[in-house]
C-alpha cells in the first residue's frame, strides 16, 4: 500500500491483521449491527484499548470502533517523518484563544491503537498527592480515586506493557521492579543527567513502553529513533501490539475506519447504540452500554453532537461541563549546541528525565513539572527553529547543519484546569457531515509562572553542561486531558469514579477526558490504569445487577 | 549528494543506504515517490506557481552544486492532495484558500510597491516584502482579512520548510542518518559514530570524513 492511497476497512471478514507477521491474519469474532452487544467502545487508544481487552476477557461481548485504520507496522510504517503523518488525526479543527493549541502531530492519533501508535512511550505514575490536589496542595480538584488503589493498577499496566525502567525509581512511594531493564541512555540523556547532578537534582533513565529484551513477538528496541512516527519493528508496546491483539483473542470485534457520529438515546434516557460511518455508509450498532474513549477533543465533540430534544445540550451534560476544563501540558523547551557530536536522534527521544520539581514544593506557583532529554527528527527540529527563532533563508540552513550537535530539554508541566478552556462545536462540517470542533485555550497566570520557572531551570542545566547558543522555545504544549471530568457529584463533574456518566447510567467515558487535573507527567499510564480499574468496576457492577 | 571539502559532511549521501539494511521496502517506496514528485503544478495556476517558486527560493535558498529540491512542486502536491495539518488558527482560512489568497496578495503587494510581479523582483526586494509579511506590516486589500503574519508563519514557513527537510538532499546536507529500519543504531554515546552515519569534516579531518562518507552503505 502506498502512503496516500485511501484505505478500506480490514476487519470486515471475521479476521484482523496480525501485526506480527507480514500479510498475516488472526481470527476475529464478528457481531451483527442488530445484535445488542454488551459494550460498544468508541476509540481504541490508551483508554479504549485496555478496556476493550479486559471487558472481553471478563466475558462481555464488545465491539470497539476506531475512526482510523488498522495498520500493519512491519509493512506500512516507513522510516519517514512526512509520510507517517498518516497516523495523526488530521481532520480539520479550529483553534483559538490567547494560546491556541497545535493539534495534528502534536496531539492526537487516528488509528487502531490511538495516539499510542505514535506516542513517545514515556510511562510515569502520578505523584500520589495529585489525586487530592485540592485538599492537600490547594489547587485544582480532587479525584474520586484513591492513590493506593491506583498504585496497584499502575503495576498491572506496567506489567501488561512490559515497561523498561530503572531498578529503583528515585521519586514517590515504593513501586515494584519494572518488568524489563532500563534502556542504555544516549548522549542526549547523559547530558541531562550531568546537568541535573550539577544542580543537585536526581535523574533517572526514563521508564519506557518499548522493550529492552524480546517479549513474545516483539524484538528489543534497535534505537532507530522514529518512535513518534510509528515503530516499524514492534518493539514499542503500543495498544496496537498489546491490548488490541489480546482483545481480539478474547472475542472482541475491532471495527477499523469506523467513525461514530452519534450516540442514540431512547425515551427512557438510556443509550441504545451508535450511528457509525464505515465503507461509505451510515450504520447503527445496538448496544446495552456505550463507552466513549475518543480523547479530550473527540469525546466531548461526540457527546455534544449527540444532543436530542431530551438532552438539548448534549449527552451527559446536565452539569454543563462537557467540553470544559480542557487541559494541555506545558511542553516548553530549552535548546543549545554542544562541542561534541550528540546525534540526538539515536534511540527513543526521551531516555532520561528528572522529576525533581514534581516532588519539591518550594515554589511560588501550583503544580509541578518534569523535564526530559530530546531527539527531534529534522522536520520537527526545523519547525522549532522557524517557530521559536523565526529563522529562514541562509540562517535556517546554517543552523540546521548543526543538527548532530544540538541538545535540548523539554518540560512536561501541569496546567491548571480552567472553565473557559474548552471544546465547542463550530459552524463548519467535516467529511462525514459532522460539525467540527473549536478548541479554545488560554494560559492562566499560574501556568505562566510554572513555565517561566521551568525554562529558567532547564536553561541553567544546559549552561552547566557547557551548551552554547542556548535559546528558549516558549510556546509548545502537548497532551490533552479534561472535558469530561470525573468527580464526586453530578453538579461538578460529568462522570463518577467508575467513569460512568451521572446522567445516563449506561454511558461511560474512559479516556484522558476524565482527568480533573493533569499532573506534571505524561498521561498515558494513568489513562490505562483507570481503564483497567474501570473494567474491574464494571464487572463488579454487573455482578450486583447494577449495570 | 554533496561533494568537495566545503561541505560539512563531504561525500555523504543518505541515498547510498537505499539498498542496505537501513531501508525497508515501504520506506523505499515512499522516498522514491517523493523524489519523483510531478514538477508541473497540479493545483496552482502557472502564475501563482511562479510566485510560489520565488518565495521558496528565498525561504530556502539552495546550494548551486546539486539539483534543487523542487519545493514549490512539493507545496503544490500538498495543496493538490489537500493534506490538512489537523488544525488551523481561527484567523486563517483553510489550507488551499490560504495559499491561493496569500500568493495573490504577495503579488499584489509587489505590483503596488515596485510595479512588477513578485517573481520578477530582485532578491533583496523579495526578502523585504517577505520580512514585512512576517512582521504583519502589509495591508493590501488582496489579503481580504487574512493576517499576513499568520499566513507567513503558519503556511509559508511551515509548509516550505517541512517540504525541504523531508527531502534526502536536506538530510545529506545536515548529516542526518535518514531512514533506519530494520537497522537502527548501536553507538549511543557522544562522539560515537556508527559506520553507516555521516562523518563530519571537522578542521583537519576533511579527507577522513570524505573517505568515511563514501563508505556509508
Ligand atoms: C506525539 C505524541 C507523543 C506522546 N508521548 C507520550 C508519552 O511519551 N507518554 C505518555 O504518557 N503520553 C504520551 N502522549 C499522549 C498519549 O498518547 C495520550 O495521552 C493517550 O494516548 C490518550 O489516550 P486516549 O485513550 O484518551 O486517546 P487516544 O489514544 O488518542 O485514542 C483515541 C482513539 O479514538 C478514536 N476516535 C475518536 N473519536 C472517534 C469516533 N467518533 N469514532 C471512532 N473512533 C474515534 C481515534 O481515532 C483514536 O484512535 C503522546 C501523544 C502524542 C501525540
Ligand atoms: S527507537 Fe525503538 S521504540 Fe522507537 S521506533 Fe525504533 S525500535 Fe521502535
Q: What DSSP string runs through A469-528? A: EEEEE---EEEEE-SS-B-SSTTT-SB-TTSBBSS-TTEEE-SGGG-SS-TTS-SHHHHH
Instruction: Note the pLDDT tens digit of each residue in A425-465.
Output: 999 999 999 999 999 999 999 999 999 999 999 999 999 99
pLDDT of residue A456: 98
Residue A5 binned pLDDT confidence (cut-offs 50, 70, 90): low
Residues 328-347, chain A, touching B (beta carbon < 8 A): 338, 340-343, 345-347
* ipTM of this complex prediction, to 2 decimal places: 0.97
Q: How many CB atoms are located within 10 Å of the residue A384 CB?
A: 19
Mean pLDDT in residue range A462-475 = 97
| Pocket flag, ligand 1, residue A331 (CB < 6 Å) | no
3-state secondary structure of A170: coil
pLDDT at position A335 over 70: yes
- Residues from chain A that touch B89, judged by Cβ atoms under 8 A, are 94-96, 100
For the entire predicted model, the pTM comes to 0.97
Domain tally, chain A: 1
- Closest-CA distance of chain A to residue B160, Å: 10
List the domain range (segments joined by +) for residue A68: 15-543
- Partner residue opposite B26 with nearest CB, options A78, A378, A383: A78
Q: Ligand 2: which residue has its CA nearest to atom 8?
A: A231
A72-A437-A491 Cα angle (round to 5): 110
Q: Is it the case that residue B38 has pLDDT exceeding 60?
A: yes
Q: Supply the CATH number for residue A142's domain.
A: 3.50.50.60
Counted residue by residue, chain A has a size of: 547
* pLDDT, position A7: 85
Q: What is the pLDDT of residues A357-382, one digit of tens each?
A: 999 999 999 999 999 999 999 999 99
Interface test with B, best of A6, A81, A88, A382 (most B CBs within 10 A): A382
pLDDT digits (tens, 9 = 90+) for B126-182: 999 999 999 999 999 999 999 999 999 999 999 999 999 999 999 999 999 999 999
**Terminal Cα-to-Cα distance of chain B (whole angstroms):** 14
The pLDDT score that the predictor gives to residue A362 is 96
Collapse the DSSP code of A227 into the 3-class scheme (helix H, G, I; strand E, B; otherwise coil) and give the result: helix
Q: Would you state the pLDDT for residue B5?
A: 45
Average pLDDT of chain A, as a whole number: 97
Closest atom, ligand 2, to C-alpha of A226: 5
Please name which of A212, A74, A54 lies closest in space to residue B27, comparing C-alpha atoms.
A74
Substitution target from B54, B63, B87, B195 for chain A, most A beta carbons within 10 A: B87
Q: For residue range B88-137, list pLDDT tens digits in order.
A: 999 999 999 999 999 999 999 999 999 999 999 999 999 999 999 999 99
Q: Return all residues near A223 (Cβ < 8 A) that are at least 6 apart.
A: A184, A186, A346, A347, A348, B184, B185, B186, B188
Q: What whole-number percentage of chain A has pLDDT above 90?
A: 97
Measured between beta carbons, the chain B residues lying within 8 angstroms of A224 are: 180-181, 183-185
Does position A2 have pLDDT exceeding 50, yes or no? no
- Look at residue A1 in the predicted model and tell me its pLDDT: 38
**A1 belongs to a structural domain:** no
Helical H runs in B82-143?
95-114, 123-134
Q: Which helix (H) or strand (E) holds A385?
A: helix A378-389
Give the contacts of B136 (CB within 8 A, at least 6 positions apart): B147, B148, B149
* 3-class secondary structure, A6: coil
Q: What is the mean pLDDT of chain B?
A: 96
CB-nearest to A345 from B26, B94, B176 is B176
Residue showing cell 496552482: B44
Confidence category of residue A105, pLDDT binned at 50, 70, 90: confident
DSSP string, A386-444: HHHH---THHHHHHHTTGGGEEEEEEEEEPPP-TTSEEEEEEEE-TTSPEEEEEE----
Q: How do strand A37-42 and strand A62-65 relate by DSSP bridges?
A: parallel
Tens-digit pLDDT profile for residues A123-139: 999 999 999 999 999 99
Residue ranges per structural domain of chain B: 35-169, 185-217
Amino acid at each position: 500500500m502506498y502512503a496516500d492511497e485511501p484505505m478500506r476497512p480490514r476487519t470486515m471478514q471475521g479476521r484482523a491483521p496480525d501485526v506480527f507477521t507480514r500479510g498475516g491474519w488472526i481470527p476475529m469474532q464478528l457481531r451483527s449491527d442488530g445484535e445488542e452487544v454488551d459494550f460498544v467502545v468508541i476509540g481504541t487508544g490508551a483508554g479504549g484499548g485496555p478496556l476493550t481487552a479486559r471487558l472481553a476477557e471478563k466475558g462481555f461481548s464488545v465491539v470497539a470502533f476506531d475512526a482510523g485504520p488498522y495498520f500493519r507496522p512491519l509493512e506500512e510504517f516507513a522510516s519517514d517523518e512526512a509520510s507517517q503523518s498518516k497516523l495523526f488525526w488530521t481532520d480539520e479543527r479550529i483553534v483559538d484563544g490567547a494560546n491556541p493549541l497545535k493539534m495534528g502531530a502534536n496531539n492526537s492519533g487516528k488509528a487502531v491503537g490511538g495516539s499510542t501508535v505514535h506516542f513517545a512511550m514515556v510511562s510515569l505514575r502520578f505523584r500520589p498527592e495529585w489525586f487530592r490536589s485540592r485538599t492537600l496542595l490547594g489547587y485544582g480538584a480532587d479525584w474520586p480515586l484513591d492513590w493506593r488503589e491506583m498504585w496497584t493498577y499502575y503495576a498491572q499496566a506496567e506489567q501488561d506493557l512490559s515497561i523498561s525502567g530503572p531498578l529503583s525509581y528515585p521519586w514517590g512511594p515504593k513501586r515494584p521492579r519494572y518488568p524489563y531493564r532500563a534502556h542504555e541512555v544516549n548522549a542526549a540523556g547523559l547530558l541531562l543527567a550531568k546537568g541535573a547532578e550539577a544542580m543537585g537534582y536526581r535523574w533517572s533513565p526514563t521508564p519506557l513502553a518499548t522493550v529492552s529484551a524480546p517479549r513474545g513477538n516483539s524484538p528489543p528496541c534497535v534505537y532507530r529513533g522514529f518512535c513518534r512516527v510509528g515503530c516499524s519493528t514492534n518493539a514499542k508496546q503500543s495498544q496496537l501490539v498489546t491490548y488490541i491483539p489480546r482483545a481480539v483473542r478474547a472475542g472482541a470485534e475491532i471495527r477499523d475506519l469506523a467513525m461514530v457520529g452519534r450516540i442514540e438515546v431512547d425515551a427512557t434516557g438510556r443509550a441504545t447504540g451508535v450511528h457509525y460511518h464505515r465503507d461509505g455508509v451510515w450504520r447503527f450498532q445496538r448496544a446495552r452500554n456505550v463507552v466513549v474513549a475518543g480523547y479530550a477533543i473527540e469525546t466531548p465533540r461526540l457527546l455534544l453532537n449527540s444532543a436530542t430534544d431530551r438532552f438539548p445540550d448534549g449527552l451527559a451534560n446536565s452539569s454543563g461541563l462537557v467540553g470544559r476544563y480542557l487541559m494541555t501540558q506545558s511542553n516548553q523547551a530549552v535548546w543549545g549546541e554542544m562541542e561534541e557530536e550528540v546525534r540526538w536522534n539515536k534511540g527513543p527521544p526521551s531516555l532520561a528525565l528528572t522529576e525533581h520539581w514534581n516532588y519539591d514544593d518550594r515554589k511560588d506557583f501550583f503544580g509541578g513539572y518534569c523535564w526530559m532529554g530530546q531527539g527531534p527528527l529534522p522536520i520537527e527540529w526545523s519547525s522549532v527553529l522557524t517557530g521559536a527563532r523565526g529563522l529562514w533563508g541562509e540562517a535556517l540552513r546554517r543552523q540546521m547543519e548543526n543538527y548532530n550537535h544540538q541538545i535540548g530539554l523539554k518540560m512536561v508541566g501541569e496546567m491548571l484546569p480552567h472553565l473557559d478552556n474548552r471544546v465547542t462545536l463550530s459552524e463548519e462540517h467535516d467529511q462525514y457531515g459532522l460539525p467540527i470542533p473549536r478548541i479554545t485555550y488560554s494560559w492562566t497566570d499560574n501556568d505562566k509562572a510554572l513555565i517561566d520557572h521551568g525554562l529558567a531551570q532547564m536553561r541553567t542545566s544546559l549552561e552547566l553542561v557547557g551548551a552554547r547558543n542556548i535559546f528558549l522555545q516558549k510556546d509548545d504544549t502537548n497532551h490533552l486531558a479534561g472535558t469530561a471530568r470525573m468527580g464526586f457529584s453530578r453538579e461538578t463533574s460529568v462522570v463518577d469514579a467508575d467513569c460512568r456518566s451521572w446522567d445516563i447510567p449506561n454511558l461511560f467515558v474512559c479516556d484522558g477526558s476524565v482527568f480533573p487535573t493533569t499532573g506534571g507527567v505524561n498521561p498515558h499510564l494513568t489513562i490505562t490504569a483507570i481503564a483497567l480499574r474501570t473494567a474491574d468496576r464494571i464487572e463488579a457492577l454487573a455482578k450486583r445487577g447494577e449495570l | 549528494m554533496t561533494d568537495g571539502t566545503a561541505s560539512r559532511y563531504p561525500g555523504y549521501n543518505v541515498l547510498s543506504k537505499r539498498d542496505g539494511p537501513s531501508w525497508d521496502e515501504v520506506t523505499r517506496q515512499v522516498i522514491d515517490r517523493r523524489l519523483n514528485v510531478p514538477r508541473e503544478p497540479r493545483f496552482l495556476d502557472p502564475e501563482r506557481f511562479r510566485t510560489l517558486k520565488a518565495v521558496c527560493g528565498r525561504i530556502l535558498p539552495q546550494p548551486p552544486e546539486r539539483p534543487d529540491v523542487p519545493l514549490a512542486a512539493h507545496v503544490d502536491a500538498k495543496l493538490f492532495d489537500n493534506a490538512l495539518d489537523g488544525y488551523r488558527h481561527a484567523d486563517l482560512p483553510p489550507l488551499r484558500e490560504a495559499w491561493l489568497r496569500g500568493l495573490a496578495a504577495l503579488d499584489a503587494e509587489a505590483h503596488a510597491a515596485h510595479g512588477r510581479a513578485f517573481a520578477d523582483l530582485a532578491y533583496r526586494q523579495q526578502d523585504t516584502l517577505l520580512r514585512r509579511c512576517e512582521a504583519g506590516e502589509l495591508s493590501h486589500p488582496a489579503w481580504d482579512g487574512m493576517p499576513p503574519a499568520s499566513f507567513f508563519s503558519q503556511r509559508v514557513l511551515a509548509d516550505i520548510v517541512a517540504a525541504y527537510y523531508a527531502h534526502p538532499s536536506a538530510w545529506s546536507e545536515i548529516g542526518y542518518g535518514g531512514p533506519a529500519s530494520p537497522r537502527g543504531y548501536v553507538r549511543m554515546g557522544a562522539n560515537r559514530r556508527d559506520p553507516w552515519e555521516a562523518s563530519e569534516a571537522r578542521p583537519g579531518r576533511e579527507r577522513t570524513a570524505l573517505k568515511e562518507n563514501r563508505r556509508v552503505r
